[in-house]
Amino acid sequence: MRLSFLISLISLGFLSSLGAQVKFEREYRLDREEIPKPALQFIEACPFENRIKWYGEESQEGKSVEAKTKHLGRKYSIEFDTSGQIQDVEAIVDWEELPKSLQEKIQACFDSSFEKVRIKKIQQQWTGQEENLLQVLQQKPTKSTYEIKYEIVIKARSEDGKNLYEMLFSDQGEVLRKDLIQPDNSDNLIY
């Protein structure tokens, strides 16, 4: 309890020192010829049966290549750098799938930062060595270490009004990043 309070406090301090930077992301489809070979080889070693869609992505963190697919009813996204080296694996998960202690820490962070929060999307993120990430995707038990983080998109109400945020939490519930998502312009759909 004391530890979770400490983590929440540290998270809060970190959050306010970070503020919320505006998230920038551009995504576009890639043809097979445009995909770096190591990225293709990694995906071929994965047990995916469904179609793989390839995207190029540009964000504050630079350029990357992303493979998206659905496997065993779950949406996966595997991110590589432009040379094809794996950066992380992401899978969409439900709130109930998070460990109870982590749920409590994240909830405490939400309660202290916002008046009202609605979770829109949770992505579990694995980072580590290529072979470890492959084992994660192959659902093989692995003794090797890998890091788990959680990227959560929330609709939140605070004194700044209602906004969309993307927050990155460690598996200990620490806030690592908070980005404000600017809704794209929809005037052409309304008028």
Residues that bind other proteins (CB under 8 A): 26-29, 55, 155, 161-164, 183-191
Please provide residue 23's backbone torsions phi and psi, each rounded to the nearest 5 degrees. Answer: -75, 130
Taking Cα atoms as reference points, which of 75, 44, 58 lies closest to residue 151? Answer: 75
State the nearest-atom distance from the C-beta of 186 to other proteins, in Å: 5
Nearer of residues 44 and 94 to other proteins, judged by Cβ = 94
State the nearest-atom distance from the C-beta of 140 to other proteins, in Å: 29
Measure the CA–CA gap between 73 and 52, rounded to whole angstroms: 14
State the nearest-atom distance from the C-beta of 15 to other proteins, in Å: 20
Nearer of residues 19 and 183 to other proteins, judged by Cβ = 183
Residue in the structure block whose two tokens are 């990043």: 177
Measure the CA–CA gap between 79 and 128, rounded to whole angstroms: 12
State the nearest-atom distance from the C-beta of 25 to other proteins, in Å: 9
Measure the CA–CA gap between 137 and 9, rounded to whole angstroms: 34
Measure the CA–CA gap between 127 and 86, rounded to whole angstroms: 9
Q: How do 161-170 and 175-181 pair as beta strands?
A: antiparallel
Nearer of residues 53 and 95 to other proteins, judged by Cβ = 53
Residue in the structure block whose two tokens are 């994660």: 136
Q: What's the sign of the alpha-carbon dihedral 137, 141, 147, 150? A: positive
Distance from the Cα of residue 152 to its chain's centroid: 7
Nearer of residues 62 and 183 to other proteins, judged by Cβ = 183
Nearer of residues 26 and 74 to other proteins, judged by Cβ = 26
State the nearest-atom distance from the C-beta of 63 to other proteins, in Å: 14
